A and B are shown apart, each in its own frame.
Chain A
């Protein structure tokens, strides 16, 4: 009798609480410093109808979701399951007056916030799960008693659905990698990372001026001049012997492995220029003599530049090789022809000293660099070679970049 009265009391209390709960919002109390509009974990409350006691119980710790979308999807699925059950039982067991579960909206889950009135520890959470299990088991039995098939979806769906978390996205154990797998290729440093050396930065870029002032001296005009008969015998004797009889033309130096392959050539040609100058002493016409002198000075300048160009091109260059390969007068003139053209070649080793003067058309001498750079075919190769001759004969301070480009050009002439 006592058990019955206790049961009645309990049912009464539950109904009272259920009645009060029916008006409750089925949501967590706000507060505890959590912004309800911006919380990471949301859930919903469910007030489950117990068919055995015909009462309802609010469960708050059954679910939690990392997004409102996931929460609402789960809520909709659970509502649908419950609706199906209710409709089935109303249809098949109308006398039961089976009640639907009530569901709250998805909201911030405060059940893990210790300062919240809704906080649930593990024991309370487990108790709620157990309550849920008990209710679901009883509903399943009720459905089967109402002729639902045990293996029907209506019955089997009354289980807690398994999670869909893809554990592959978050593997719990990790294979320990090998050192080889962890070896990373170092990344290149930015250009500015490395320091620039200051060695030579404070050194003078050019040689300092002489420490002593060296005055020029007076130069008396000499009464004699040296002449070289063999270079231009015709000039001396007044005859017109061909220069081929020249026996004093200096022989080219053998390749002695010198640093500049053009040295032998230049040395030889320097002697030739001096011989020409000496021979010009026999010429009476001052203007001719002057032009020979100018041509000789120009030739000397050219030889000096040639040496620099071969040095710039490098000892293994084709240019150096061409100079090194010169082994006689024919080869020498052939090389001159290749580099400076046939018209210059004919003036290179003149039978008559005055033939050393090379006349190059003005259009090729105005801006020789422009002529050499010209690539549209405006100037012929021969014209460019003449222009090169003019440039080298008249320019004393070629820059390193000019030397480089000229060396390349000359190699293309070979």
Chain B
């Protein structure tokens, strides 16, 4: 009786794990006490036996069809009528395996082995256990794969959302789980590319190729690698034109597709006006008699430090610059600016030649600005001649360069439409020391007037000198006008002109030089207004960014004093 009771007790304990075998152990202690007194056996009724036999017979027939699902239902009925029959447990386990209900099958196997450890089906049921173990392992692996794919897809999602750093974190985690998954390496390459780290991007693309020996997209990946490597090289060897965004060879003085420049990053003059706390540039003017003519604080020109420091090429910077131009109405043809529109109207059309920008056309105003250049490097050109418009006056500038490719001489010709239409010539000659630093620039200019005006000849000359501090920074620029004279070769025949000249220069004598340093050069009158050809240093924007100025009459000296933050040093910063 005790044996029977124990058997019943055990059966009931296991029954509790019918659907939840894992809880069987937990439930065991609880039920052991309570069930001991409540279960007992009794003779089976005829109906039970009949029902059971019927369920078994049906189960068997369905299993033979085979219809495992129907068979399972009938064996479950049988188990419900007479629980824990060894054959039923065994058959249930087999049918449950066939139906993929491995957890349920495992509970039947466990119950069988617990109840009938020496039963006739033990040998087979142990093989079934091996099968279940395999299934368990299979499911575990499937779950791991599912988890992996989910994590991978999260990284992919972040990539598509543009959250590249987060995507990289996920892909690093994924790569730890599956180091040979080529797709991870590829996606990491994409993320690094988007973040601008092309070196890392190429590393992962190579890893991708290594992990997929013959990928279908090999050609595409090779092309991408080639492009990225070219970009890496460009990032080391090129800078970007801050106006049009074109990639330029390091050392190029000009952007040959928009003629902005000069990009003289190593010249102290071009690093003299950084936008930094503690940096300043103050222009002071003095009249010929030494009187103070006023101060002017010049605006900074290079944000964040030395000139061009931020201009090392990168695709992202290029994109930003182009976006800024496009926002202004500019259109690009590939890498080059081609036209600017205001509304629907073309205001500027750039004629891009095979190599360089050749002309600028302004269809509305009719202006035509021409450019000529000479090739100096693989992809660099020096501007030989250009038209510069300042206040409605077209200045034709020509440049000469020394053997080292540095600016050596500039000539400017213009018709002073703002005054008397005189045809004026100016020059700037660069003087460098042995190390190439710019010491001074000799400036001069003048013109010959008309015969009807008395054939006047005007000439001026001056020198722009630079002094440097111990860090090689420009400490001061000083322009001194050394002479400014006008000589009338003859007395004009027209009374009107003679009278005008006498009113301009009461002390003048025909055929004698007139000193213009105090008065300036008056060339005519328009009613009561005196027209004057002032010394125009504005076209010389290439000499130094602080030089361009229309010199006021009587000013004979101009200085620009620079101050820098202590730590700002051209050599250190660059």
Contacts and interface: CB of A to CB of B under 8 A. Distances in A.
Given A175-B302, A223-B43, A253-B23, A189 B87 contact: no
Nearest to B305: A178
B19 A270 contact: yes
Contacts of B390: 167, 172
Contacts of B56: 219, 221
A303 interface: yes
Interface string B225-262: 00000000000000000110000000000000000100
A300 B19 contact: yes
A216 interface: yes
Contact of A200 (B120, B146, B310, B311): B146
B183 A197 contact: yes
A230 B87 CA distance: 28
Contact of A188 (B47, B162, B392): B162
Nearest to B303: A178
B81 A74 contact: no
Contact of B302 (A138, A176, A271): A176
A269 to B, nearest CB: 9
A177 B242 contact: yes
Interface stretch (B357-365, B436-444, B466-474): B357-365
Contact of A216 (B15, B94, B494): B94
Contact of B138 (A134, A174, A193, A207): A207
A194 B156 contact: yes
A218 B87 contact: yes
Interface in A282-299: 284, 286, 289-290, 293, 296-297
Contact of B194 (A122, A186, A217): A186
A66 B369 CA distance: 9
Interface stretch (A14-22, A125-133, A349-357): A125-133
Interface stretch (A259-267, A331-339, A385-393): A259-267
A225 B82 contact: yes
B77 A162 contact: no
B552 interface: no
B320 A182 contact: yes
How large, as a class, is the contact surface on chain B? Answer: 35 or more
Contacts of A161: 417
A70 B365 contact: yes
A297 B423 CA distance: 111
A199 B184 CA distance: 10
A156 B361 CA distance: 29
Interface stretch (A78-86, A93-101, A243-251): A243-251
B77 A293 contact: yes
A170 B368 CA distance: 12
B295 interface: no
A69 B149 contact: no
Contacts of B156: 194, 196
A236 B15 CA distance: 20
B20 A133 contact: no
A281 B91 contact: no
A5 interface: no
Contacts of A199: 145, 148-149, 152, 178, 181, 183
Contacts of B78: 219
A1 interface: no
B281 interface: no
A273 B413 CA distance: 108
Interface in A129-148: 129-130, 133-134, 136-138, 141, 144-145
Contacts of B97: 210, 214
A183 B321 CA distance: 10
Given A151-B528, A160-B415, A181-B320, A222 B85 contact: yes
Main secondary structure on A side of the interface with B: loop
Contacts of B370: 112
A256 interface: yes
A293 B527 contact: no
B423 A186 contact: no
Contact of A289 (B47, B182, B497): B47
A376 interface: no
B110 interface: no
A222 B97 CA distance: 25
A129 B33 CA distance: 123
Contact of B541 (A173, A175, A222): A173
B526 A175 contact: no
B18 A300 contact: yes
Contact of B131 (A144, A170, A210): A210
Given A112-B370, A189-B159, A66 B361 contact: yes
B423 A165 contact: no
A65 interface: yes
B320 A183 contact: yes
A40 interface: yes
B496 A141 contact: yes
B162 A198 contact: no
25 contacts: A122-B396, A133-B450, A141-B452, A151-B529, A163-B393, A165-B365, A174-B242, A175-B301, A184-B320, A186-B316, A189-B190, A195-B183, A195-B186, A200-B146, A203-B145, A221-B49, A222-B82, A224-B44, A226-B8, A226-B12, A227-B40, A247-B34, A253-B27, A271-B16, A296-B80
